[in-house]
Every structure is written in structure tokens, then in C-alpha cells.
Amino acid sequence: MIVTPKIFARLAAIALLGVLLQISFFSRVTVLGVSPDVLPALVVVLGLLGGAMTGAVAGFAIGLLLDGSLVESLGGSSLVLLGVGYLTGLLRERFELRGALVAALACLGLTMVAELGFALVQLTLGVDAPVSLLIVRDLVLKGIFAFFVGWPLYIGLCRLLRAALVEEPRVTRRRQPAVFGA
């Protein structure tokens, strides 16, 4: 991804809007008893589009914005999301992963990884209460929600950041004209 000042402004606006939508909409609705978490999916899509560095920096910034906006301890979400962003970027760079379906599947898997990461950070810092097994249901459902969010998110961000994307030119085969009676 070629990050010009204009693209940087777009990325910042996407991060801001993503965090705002998450804390005022997605976190406040429940579907099947679980609130969707779209921020890992947003980081995954940015990582797929921009590569490991873009993913890591976007993850760090989005995590920082999230924790800061909720006036919570800083650093925990940043650490998890930067890891998810970097991992997505690496997957894209090593295996040349592209496409909306790949994005949706990556959102599913890596949202679960992110939720596991949040759990790991919290358990490392100490939890003063018993933990319900429903946390597993929460993790799986968040992953499934991310699958459905990942698809349109990838297509939308592809369009929004088209100017910055380094795409290999599509190879289109021209059909040779058929000559009859030659």
C-alpha cells in the first residue's frame, strides 16, 4: 500500500469511524446473546490490503483509540490487534491471499485469535472472578459475525483505498479470432 497524506487521512477516518461504530452500535446490540466485535475484522482487512506493516500499525492505533475512548488501561487491545494485523499481513505476503471470500475466512479465524488474545492478556493480568464456559460461545459467535462483516468490509475498503493499492495487473487472455475457411 502506498500511503500518501490523502490515504493516511482516509485510513485515520476509517479507524475513527470503526471505533465509533463499535462502541456506540455493535457493542450495544446483542444477536443470539453476543455483541459483534468488528474491530479485529477491520484490522484483518487492512492487513490484507496493505500488508504486515499497515496491519500492525492500524491494529496498534485502533486498539489505542478503543482503550482511550472507553477510558480504560491502554496497551492491551493495541497489543492484541497489532499482532492480528501483522499476522494477516504476513499471510497475505507469504501466500498471496486476496479476494472477498479469503477476507471473510481470514476475519472468521483471526477474530477468534483476537478474542483468545484478549482473554490471554486479561488472564495474565489477573481475573478476580470465575470464568463461564459461555466465553467459548462468545468467541465462536464473534468469529461467525466477523465472517459476515468481513466480506462487505473488504469490498468497501478496496474501493475506498483503491488509489493506494499495489495490484498486479490482471492477465486477460484475448481470444484469437476464429478464421473459418482459411
Partner 1 sequence: MYRKQARRRRAVLTLLIVGSFLLLTLTYGQAPGSVQQGIGSLFNPLADVADRALKPARDLVGWFDETFEARGENERLRDELAEARRQAVAGQAALNENGQLRELVKLDRSPVIAYSTFEPVTGRVIARSPIVWHSAVTIDLGRDDGVRVDDPVVSGDGLVGAIASVQGGSAQVTLLTDHTSGVSARVLPGGAQGVVRPEVGDPEDLVLDFIKAARNIGAGQVVETAGWRASGIASLFPAHLPIGEVTEAPVEEQEASQQVHLRPYADLANLDIVQVLTGGAR
- Taking the least distance from each CB to partner 1, the nearer of 79 and 105 is 79
User: Minimum Å distance from CB 175 to partner 1?
Assistant: 39
- Taking the least distance from each CB to partner 1, the nearer of 23 and 105 is 23
User: Minimum Å distance from CB 111 to partner 1?
Assistant: 11
Which of 38, 80, 76 lies closest to 59 in space, CA to CA? 80
User: Minimum Å distance from CB 113 to partner 1?
Assistant: 14
User: Minimum Å distance from CB 59 to partner 1?
Assistant: 8
- Taking the least distance from each CB to partner 1, the nearer of 54 and 158 is 54
Distance CA 137, CA 141 (A): 6
- Other beta carbons within 10 angstroms of residue 87's beta carbon come to 22
Distance CA 161, CA 158 (A): 5
- Taking the least distance from each CB to partner 1, the nearer of 83 and 158 is 83
Instruction: Give the total residue count for the chain.
Output: 182
Residues lying near partner 1 in the complex (CB under 8 A)? 19-33, 35, 37, 39, 52-53, 56-57, 60, 63-79, 82, 86, 115, 118-119, 121-122, 125, 127-135, 138
Distance CA 118, CA 129 (A): 16
Contact 43, 84 (CB under 8 A): yes
